[in-house]
Each structure stands twice: as C-alpha cells, then as structure tokens.
Structure 1
Amino acid sequence: MEHENLNWLTSTLLADRGARVLACRIKPLQAGWRIFARALTVSVPPGDNLAIHAALSVAKEGDVLVVSGEGYLERALMGGIMCGQAAALKMAGVVIDGAVRDVAELRAESFPVFAAGVSPAGPTKHGDGSVFRPVVCGGVAINPGDWIFADDDGVVSFSEEERVTLVQAAAQKLEAEQARIEAIKRGDLTPAWLESELQRADVDIAGRP
C-alpha cells in the first residue's frame, strides 16, 4: 500500500472512518499542501523550542515533525531557518500546535507546514521538553511512529496497526460518495437513507411560507 497509489486519500475520508482529528486551529499555511508520514513527536513548554532543535538533530528522511506546543501562540516555535533545515533533511513536513513565523518565506517554498497560528516574536531556548515520547497535539494523543495525514481540510492521526483497515474503509467511503454524486447527476436528489432517519429523529419541518 504505497503512498503513490493513495493520491485519492483525504483527511475527510479518514476522519469519517475513525481517524483521530486534531483541533481545527491547526491549518496549512498554504492551500494544497499535503502530508502523509509517521510522526517524530516533540513536546515543548509554551513558546520554547529547544526540544525542537534536539528533534531536528535526530530526524530522518520522511519523518513528519509533530510538535505539542500547548496551543500557545504568543511566540513562534519555528520559522524559515528551522523549516529550511527540516526540508533539507527531506522530512515530510511539520505539524505544530503553536505558532510559526516567516510566513511569506515559508509560503514561497514547497515544504508543508501546518500550524495553529502566527507570531513575529521568537522563542526562548530554556527547555525542557521531550523527543520520541507520546504527546498530545491538537487535543489528540499521538505516539512516536503514528501516522499523520494532513491536507486542506485538517490533520488526522492513526496508529500503524489501524493503517490498513482505515485506508481500506476510506476507499469504500470514496466509492459510496462517488456513487451518490453520480446519482445526483442522474436527478436522484434525495438520499435513500433520509426518510428513515427523519422518522427516527425529532426534526421540526414547518410548512413552506
């Protein structure tokens, strides 16, 4: 199940089939960026990036840097220089529950960066932090080596043990969605499941004025 055969995969398909969804505050800096890689996990105190430097010193090609910055947005944890270093290491991208800076520079490159916010203020380097330990990023528990998938709709995570089942379920979901789209084109504008669900639920539909 190689990545080049999964160009159809999206965060929405994976989320609909059980992947864990990181907080929607974590967004791509540039539309069209996509990450599908295993997590190199990092945790840092708010506004401090010493542990991120440590993580970059042990990063391998294909890793995605997943940084738990506690959602703190008043100091950027990474910018153009560090993201350039990550790109030179041929990492898959960066996901930060925190802020970044040098946004114009980052957008001019092709290295995907997903962050919770932007700040011109630089970080401290006092420590502490951790590398290759379980973290909570965007409200989701992520272990080292878990899979991260990120695109324009957001970021999701799942374990290696879940990968095959989730991707297969996502493929089935895609087939169902495509069938529904074709049905709409044929003029079938009401989903088959709608009537039974409305009977089950308490939806108050007033008469047309």
Structure 2
Amino acid sequence: MTSTPRTRAREQTMRDIVRIGREHLVATGPTALSLRAVARDLGVVSSAVYRYVRNRDELLTLLVVDAYDELGDAVDAAVDGAAEPLAQFRQLGRAVREWALREPARYALLYGTPVPGYEAPGEQTTAPGTRVIVALTTILERAHSTGAGGSTPIAAPADSGSARAGALAADFARIRDEFGLTLTDDALARGVLTWAALFGAVSFEVFDQYGSDTFTDPGALFERHLAHLAQMAGL
C-alpha cells in the first residue's frame, strides 16, 4: 500500500524526534531527557510533540528500541559475513564491542544503570532486546548440529538439591522450546555464561572499569577474551 503524504510526514517527524532524542541522550543523559527540549530543537511548540510522544517514558522506549535494533543490525551484518560458527562468534563479539565503543551513551541506556522511574515495556522491547542472544544461540545451535561444537560436560554442583536441579532443568527446557534449540542443558549453561561474560567484558571497557593505565591495548585483551569465551562455549 502506498503511504499518504500525511503518513510520510508523520514518519519523518518520528525519525526526527528519535534523532534529536539521541543527541540529548549523549549531551544530558537519560534522566534529564525532556520533551520540551526536543520540541525546541524540532522547531515546534511542546504541545505538538505530545501528539507523537506522550511523555518522557515513551521517548525513552523509542530510544531503547532504536538502540537495540541498531546493535542487532550490526551483529547480523557481521555474522552474515562469516563462514563457520567460530568465526561467526568472533564477529558477533567484535560487532558488540565496536558498537558499544562507538555509542557509549546508547549502550549505557541498554546495559548501564537503570533510569529511575522508568520500566521498559516488554511488548515493545523484548523482541529487539533479544536479537543478540538469538544470534548467539543460533551460532551455538549450528555448531552443535553440525558437530563443530562440544566440550566435556561439567558435573552439577555437589550442593544442588533435586528441587533446584529440577527447576533449572525446567528453565532450560522452556528456553529450548522458545528458541527451537536442541542444545543440552550443559551447552545452554555455557551459552548463558558466554553471553553474560561477553557483555561484562564490553561493559568493563565502555565504563572504564579497568582504569586508564592498566591495559595499553584493550582490543588485544578483548580478542583474548573472545578466544577463552569461544572455548568455554564449546566452539
């Protein structure tokens, strides 16, 4: 269906609002976002903006979805260019790091300190927010199904009671069903740890947790981290 001039104008205004919102996010941080300030930079009265975005939380949601989608696009593009699971995993990790270092304010919005008083609506943010983990599990599943992955299973902790083990097994079964996976419980546990450690490594660099004088080449450290994470994931 061909869009009407009014529809195209509305879509352009929404793009402008997101663009200006990004600029304000970098300049002032998420807690200081103001629709009045966005309206001023858009060149309209504040009441006009409220016809598109009702409040600050809606603006934050637009920025969250926009950031998740751009990160997801970067990961998908990087992974598509790699031939086998190990190379795909390395490209995924590099894409996450490169985007985070290029967009630290937007990365912080997604993975930093929660914005006080804001709760992201799951119906809008869950799908874009899980794109990276979906890409990762797809890589692990491909490796598992083609015989390119695998590692010696680790025994369950000695203090894990039957109730705890049963609950975790049920969680893994639900995840397998939700994502269409055949990975074993041990492979899923490794995958979750790989996911958490990957973003932990990126966050330490983005938020300067190592300190300015600890590593002269953080990229080299990250490549070493990727090698260890790939081994842990069974790649």
Q: Do the two structures share a fold, i.e. TM-score over 0.5?
A: no
TM-score where L is the length of structure 2? 0.20
TM-score where L is the length of structure 1? 0.22
User: More helix by proportion, 1 or 2?
Assistant: 2
Q: Larger RCO: Structure 1 or Structure 2 (Cα < 8 Å, ≥ 6 residues apart)? A: 1
